[in-house]
Amino acid sequence: MTTTADDMRSNRDIIGRDDVTDVAAVLAMVGHDEPDGRHLVDDPCPAEFTWDYQKGAKPKLDKLYEKAKNAQWNGTTDLPWDTEVDQEKVVIANREANGDNLRWANTDISGTVLEKWGDKEWMRFGVENQNWMLSQFLHGEQGALLCTAKIVETVPWIDAKYYAATQVVDEARHVEVFSRYLDEKLSGHYPINAHLGLLLDDIIQDRRWDMTYLGMQIMVEGLALAAFGFIHGMTTEPLLKRLLRYVMADEARHVAFGVLSLQEYYQELSSAELRERQEFAFEAAVRMKDRMLMQEMWERMEVPPDQVVRIITQGPERDDFQILLFSKIVPNLKKLGLLDAADGWLREKFTEMGAIAFEDLSDATEDADAFADGSPAERQVV
């Protein structure tokens, strides 16, 4: 079956706007906490029992499961929680190490509130940036916890249920350590970003088990792996650096789990079914790109939205950073055959976003982590 442009939904149909790069539309959606501290999502997906208990029927998943059992680490005892973290000192050290001040030296902030900021305000900006970033990591990990528990319920193969159960433990540990770091080492939480929240709701509400895999294991976990790697390379704070490295070792397995589970299954789908997966992947990519504009932080810093639009659209490094986040996603979508299905529609979308250059990227560290023997603490990864 040949797919034409008319078969595909428009950007407005998929993401609610015509222009993917419409910064004003992105910033118009800001996350806020629910008054009672809870967020309920209807989940229509049926749980599925399997009476085929043959372990190892899917050898690659079985191998990953055996590795995962021996790769568990303890968030309480394997991290140096006695490390003193002074947020302001961390902000200064990170700026000195990464030349962060140069970004603002090259940005025209005249006529904005940033023009009047002094050292106190710029320091607060650095602190709030830390709080916002780690808060979104925390919320994303809880989303992964819920989605992986759903995979245990819904995936039809016993080897996948076994492995997903180990990932539930991984995700609970990630929620634990990010929450503790925010509570004990940083100075404030942020609500979940509106765009991240929309994506997680979409993943949970879809009744098809493979959409949970695609949305969480490939898209969200893939972006998380890239984001954690980026922050790991930027931060000078030793506790956070080790925390992120341990989490990255787990995430490498999670992404591999998604690829191994979906590669064979997607070969069986029709063109129409593959088009739906492409559109879902595109929506997820845009939602995750949108979340990086830090709407909640700008609101807390009392910077008017129109000024944020002007500030953000000036910086080419912003686009470079956002494109870098797709470095783990695009190669795996290619492995699943989704880039070139439907006459290459998704390839065209990622080309427009500037991310297609990553399609053949490989990461030796990530590959080693996915099937490593022992926990990252035992292997003393850094």
Contacts 24+ apart (CB under 8 A), 17-25: 20/286, 20/289, 20/352, 20/353, 23/293, 23/308, 23/309, 23/312, 23/313, 24/305, 24/306, 24/309
Evaluate whether 354 touches 323 at the Cβ level (below 8 Å).
yes
| Closest listed residue to residue 286, CA positions, set 47, 103, 7, 14 | 14
CA 219 from chain center: how many Å?
7
The arithmetic mean of pLDDT across residues 263-272, rounded, is 94
The arithmetic mean of pLDDT across residues 190-216, rounded, is 95
Helix (H, G, I), strand (E, B) or coil at 223: helix
pLDDT digits over 21-57, tens only? 888 888 899 999 999 999 999 988 899 999 999 999 9
Helix (H, G, I), strand (E, B) or coil at 265: helix
pLDDT at 334: 96
| Closest listed residue to residue 59, CA positions, set 155, 154, 148, 157 | 157
pTM greater than 0.85 (yes/no): yes
Q: Which of 230-244, 270-284, 314-328 has the lowest mean pLDDT?
A: 314-328
The arithmetic mean of pLDDT across residues 199-211, rounded, is 95
Structure tokens at 305: 């939205």
pLDDT at 341: 93
The arithmetic mean of pLDDT across residues 268-297, rounded, is 94
Dist CA 209 CA 104 (whole Å):
45
- Return the percentage of the chain with pLDDT > 90, whole number: 79
pLDDT at 314: 75
Structure tokens at 209: 């088990």
pLDDT at 7: 60
pLDDT at 100: 66
Using 50, 70 and 90 to split pLDDT, how confident is the model at 104? low
Place of tokens 């929620």: 175
Evaluate whether 256 touches 225 at the Cβ level (below 8 Å).
no
| Closest listed residue to residue 152, CA positions, set 254, 47, 57 | 47
The arithmetic mean of pLDDT across residues 100-105, rounded, is 60
Place of tokens 């004003």: 24
pLDDT at 1: 36
> In which region does residue 354 sit, left (phi positive, over 0), alpha (psi from -120 to 50) or beta (all else)?
left
Dist CA 169 CA 344 (whole Å):
37
Using 50, 70 and 90 to split pLDDT, how confident is the model at 5? very low
Whether pLDDT at 316 is above 90: no
> How much is the mean pLDDT over the chain?
92
Phi first, then psi, for residue 80 (nearest 5°) are -80, 75
Dist CA 333 CA 328 (whole Å):
9
pLDDT at 337: 96
pLDDT at 318: 59
Distances, alpha carbon 121 to alpha carbons 85, 125, 303, 310, in Å: 20, 6, 12, 19
Domains of the chain: 28-34+43-379 (1.10.620.20)
Evaluate whether 199 touches 220 at the Cβ level (below 8 Å).
yes
Using 50, 70 and 90 to split pLDDT, how confident is the model at 64? very high
Whether pLDDT at 3 is above 60: no
pLDDT digits over 154-189, tens only? 999 999 999 999 999 999 999 999 999 999 999 999
* Cα within 13 Å of Cα(303), Cβ side: 25
- Of 230 and 102, which is predicted with more confidence? 230
pLDDT digits over 85-96, tens only? 999 999 999 999
Dist CA 165 CA 278 (whole Å):
27
Distances, alpha carbon 382 to alpha carbons 21, 101, 129, 247, 369, in Å: 36, 27, 24, 11, 12
Query: What is the 3-class SS of 295-337, one letter each residue?
Result: HHHHHHCCCCHHHHHHHHHHCHHHHHHHHHHHHCHHHHHHHCC
pLDDT at 4: 47
pLDDT digits over 137-150, tens only? 999 999 999 999 99
